[in-house]
Structure 1
C-alpha cells in the first residue's frame, strides 16, 4: 500500500477514526462518572468496605485523567482504531472488553507503584461494566451509521477489479451482495475479455453491474479517469510475474491494493499466514467441532425441537387435516436422504404435491429453473393449492422437528440431499456431508430458492467452518423473518 497522496476515502476514514476516538473518550468519562456516583454518592454497593476519606473525590478525579489517556493508548495497541479491523464481526467488541480489562488492571498497578490510596473495588467493577457496555453500544451505533452511509454509496471506496475471469466475477458478485462492505465497483481491467465495454456481471434486477473499462496496459489512466481508490487483483487471471509488474507500476498512487487468494472454497477464518524456514506460507487450519461443541449443539437442538413440537401441535394437526381433505394421498412425504458421513435416514415433510409427482418429474426437467443438481420450478403444476401455501411459509418442513428429536437432523445445517444427488457431487460438494444436516441453513436466509446450487454449497461450507451456537441462533431468527415474509420460496 502506497501513501504518496490522500484520496477522499482515506480522508473520510481519518475523520471517522477521530470521531470514534472522541466517542470512546466520552463513553469512558461517562463510565467513570457513573461509577463514582453509584458507588459513593448513590451507595449502590454497600458491601464495599472502604470508607471514603476527604481527599477521595480529588483522588478519583486524578484517576480520570490517568485512565482515559491510558485506555485510549491501549485501544490503539488493540487495533481498535485500525480501519482494517473495524466494522465487521464481533471481534471488535471482544477487543474492547479485553482492552478495558487491561486498562483497569494498568490503573491499579500504577496506583500501587506510586503508593496511592486503595481504589474501591466496587468502583472498579462499576467502571468496567459501564465502559464495556457503553463503548460497545456506541461502537455498534457508529457501525450502523457507517453501514447506512455505505448502502447509499456515501462512504464507499471506488474499486477496480483487475481480471475478468471466473474468480474476478466471483469477487464482484460477492461485493454486490455486501453493500455494507464499503466498495463500489467502477469496472474491470482485463486483457483477454472479448471487448472493452463488455458486461462481466449483472445486478439482481438484471441491469449491468460492472463492465470491462480497459486493458491492464493502461492501469494508470484507468485509475486517474475513474478516481480509483482500491484495486483487487484476481490472482488466477495472471501470472505471478505479471501481477508483480502491475503492482510495481502503482507505486505513485495512494491505493488500497488487495490480492485475492484464489481459494474461494476455503474460509478466511481458517487461513493463517506464517513463516516457515524464512518462507511466508498460507496455512489452512483444520476444522472440527469439539466434543463440548457437539454436546451443546445436540442439547440445544433437542430442547428447541421438543418445545416447538409441543407448542405447534395444534398447527401440525390442522395442516394434516387440510392436506387429507384437499387432495388424495398420504399426509406425509417420506423420502430417504443422506446424512453426515454418507449415512441415509428417513426424511419427513408434509406432502405438498399431487399423487404420482415423482413419475411426472422427467417430463418437467426441461422447465428446470435451477442450475446444478437440484430441480426448481416456480409454477410447478404438481404442487397443490394447500401445498403452495405451505411452501410459501415453509410450513411443510415442520415434521422434520421429529427428525431432529431422533438425532437424524439438526435445527441448523446443510439441507440433506437425496442419494442420486450425492452421486453427482464434485469433490468439494461432499464437504456438506461433514456435519449433520439441518432444517434451515445459511443459504435459506440468503436468497432461499433464488440461489444457484454452487452458491448454496458455498454458504453451507461457510456455515460449517464458522459454526457457533450464537451463529445457529442468529440463523434461526433470520429464518423466522424470511419465512414470515414469504419471499424467495416456491
Structure 2
C-alpha cells in the first residue's frame, strides 16, 4: 500500500532536492568566478573546502526549511501554482538568511551576484524537478498505477458530487471501492456496498487507504466509531461536512478550551503587504495598459461618436468596496435612451437574480455590439483603477438597484474592490446563473492573492480573444 512507502518517498524526494541545491551553488560559483570573470575555474577547484562547505550548508538549510514548510508528502489535491510560490518564497528566505550568516561569520567568500544566480538556478532546478515528478506521477496514476483505495461514507449530494469528481480526475490516483449509506441512491452509478452497519466489515476485509465521510447532520452519531476504526486499521479519515458550501478555501481553526472553532466567514483583510502589492500591480498594469491601448481607445471613441452623435464615454453610478458608490466609465455601447427603455425590456431578461442580461438587446448599437464582444468597452475603466475606485482583478461593480436586492450572502462580494476581471469572466460570464456568479465572486474574496490574480489575468486574455460569453 502506498501509505507504507510514503515516508521513504519523502526521504528520497528530500535527498534529490538537497543534491539539486548543492549542484546549483557550485554552478553559480562556476558561472560567477569562471565564465563571467573570464577565468579558468576547473572542476577540481570547485571541490575545494570553501566551495563545498558553502554548497553543503545551503543544501542542508533549504531542505530543513522545506521540511518545516511541509513540502514533502502526497499532494494529489494541492494547487501546483501555490506549491511553486511556496518553493520560490522558501528559497528566497533561505538564501538571504544563510547568505547573511555566512557573510557575518566570514565562513565563505562570495559576491551578491553569486547569491542571486544561486537563487535563480536552485529555484529553477527544484521547481523543474517537481514539474517532472508531478507529471510522471499523474500519468501513471491515470493508468491505474500508484493508486490509493478510497471508501466514501454517505449517499447525499456532497458524497455523489465528490465521487463524480474523483472519477473525472484519474490523475489523482484513487481507486474508488464504492460507498456505504443508509440506502442506495440513484444520483450516482458507483457501487453501493451496504448500510453503515457493514462499515467495520469493509474495513477489516478490504484494503482501504482513505475514507471520506460525507454524512448528513442527522447521521453523524455513528461517525466517531467509524473514525476510530480508520485509526485502528491505518486508513486516513477525511470529512466533507454537510455545510461544505460555507467553508472557505483556506479555513482556520481556533481552540477555545476543548472546543474547535472553524472560522467560515471573516473580513477578508489580507494585510498591508498584500494591499501594497495589489495597488502596485494596479498602477503598473494601468500605465502599461494605457500606453498599449491608447490607439484602440482613440479609434473606438471616434467610432462611437460617429455612430449616433452621442458622447463616446458613458458614466454610470456603481457600487464599490463596502458599498461605497463611484462613477464608472465605459465606452458607450448603447443608444442614448437605453436607460429609459430598460423597464419595457425587463420581461426579456435572460438571467435570474437582480442583474439584467439580454443576448440580442435592441438598445445596443452596431459599434457597441463589436466593442462588447471584444471587451473594448471596458478600457476606460483603467481610469477608475488609476483613481483607486477599482482594481484590475476583482468582482464586477454592480448597479445600486441590483445591490438593493442582495442578500447578506451576496453582499460579501463587496468586501473587496471591484475589478475589470474575475472568476466570473473566465468561467462563462453571461452564460452563468446569478447564483453561480455570486459563488465565483465570493470564491475570489477568499482566494485573492498574487498567484490568483496572475492566473485570472492570463486566463482572461484567452477568454477575451475567443469572445466567450460576452454580449
Tell me the TM-score normalised to structure 2 length.
0.75
CA RMSD of aligned residues (A): 4.6
Match of 1:455 in 2: 436
Q: How far off its partner does 1:66 sit?
A: 7.5
- Aligned to 1:415, what secondary structure does the other structure show? coil
Counterpart in 2 of 1:409?
A: 390
1:432 aligns to what? 413
- Taking the aligned partners of 1:179 and 1:381, their CA distance within structure 2 comes to 47
The 3 A distance-change label for structure 1 pair 406 and 82 is same
Q: Which residue of 1 aligns with 2:426?
A: 445
Where does residue 70 of structure 2 map in the other structure?
79
Partners of 2:190 and 2:100 lie apart in 1 by 54
Change (3 A) 1:328 1:68: closer
> Aligned in 2, Cα 1:396/1:41: closer, same or farther, shift over 3 Å?
closer
* Deviating more after overlay: 307-316 vs 352-361: 352-361
Give aligned pairs, total. 455
Alignment partners' CA distance in 1, 2:60 and 2:279 = 46
Counterpart check, 1:30 vs 2:23: yes
Shift of 1:295: 4.9
119, 140, 143: which one pairs with 2:108? 119
Superposed displacement of residue 215, structure 1? 4.6
Assess if the C-alpha contact under 8 Å between 1:100 and 1:132 holds in 2. Answer: no
**1:301 pairs with one of 274, 282, 288:** 282
What is the CA distance between 1:476 and its match in structure 2? 2.2
- What residue ranges of structure 1 are gaps of 5+ in the alignment? 1-5, 47-52, 201-209
Out of 91, 109, 130, which is 1:139 matched to?
Answer: 130
1:472 to 450, 453, 456: 453
Aligned to 1:247: 227
Q: Tell me, yes or no, if the aligned pair for 1:408 and 1:436 is still in contact at 8 Å.
A: yes
Q: In the aligned structure 2, how far is the partner of 1:435 from the partner of 1:384?
A: 33
1:420 maps to 401
Cα contact 1:74–1:103 (8 A) shared by 2: no
Tell me the residue number matched to 1:267.
248
State which drifts further: 56-65 or 27-36.
56-65
State the Cα deviation string for residues 29-65 of structure 1 (Å, max 9, x = none). 422432453466557499xxxxxx9997256557767
CA contact 1:413–1:439 (8 Å) conserved in 2: yes
Deviation (angstroms), 1:480: 1.4
Q: Secondary structure at the match of 2:245?
A: coil
Shift of 1:440: 0.9
The question of whether the paired residues in 1 share the 8 Å contact of 2:319 and 2:399 is answered with yes
Q: Aligned-pair distance for 1:131?
A: 3.1
Within 5 Å, give how 1:350-361 maps onto structure 2. Answer: 350-353=331-334, 356=338, 358-361=342-345
Q: Take 1:469 and 1:377, find their aligned partners in 2: how far apart are those partners?
A: 34
What displacement does 1:243 show? 1.8
The DSSP-based 3-state class of the residue aligned with 1:121 is: coil
Name the counterpart of 1:317.
Answer: 298
Q: TM-score, normalised by structure 1?
A: 0.73
Structure with bigger helix share is 2
More off after superposition, 313-322 vs 174-183 = 174-183
Alignment of structure 1 residues 36-435 onto 2, 5 Å? 36-38=29-31, 41-42=34-35, 44=37, 57=48, 60-61=51-52, 72=63, 75-84=66-75, 88=80, 89=82, 90-98=85-93, 118-122=107-111, 125=115, 130-146=121-137, 157=148, 159-168=150-159, 189-191=180-182, 196=184, 198-199=186-187, 213-217=192-196, 218-219=198-199, 229-234=209-214, 236-250=216-230, 253-261=233-241, 262-269=243-250, 271-283=251-263, 286-291=267-272, 293-323=274-304, 331-353=312-334, 356=338, 358-365=342-349, 368=350, 370-378=351-359, 386-435=367-416
Asked whether 1:481 is paired with 2:465, we answer no
3-state DSSP of counterpart to 2:237: strand
In structure 1, how many angstroms separate the alpha carbons of the residues matched to 2:73 and 2:51? 31
Q: Report Cα offsets for 1:115-171 as digits up to 9, x if no partner.
A: xx9433349836566434422343344345545666777666565543344544665
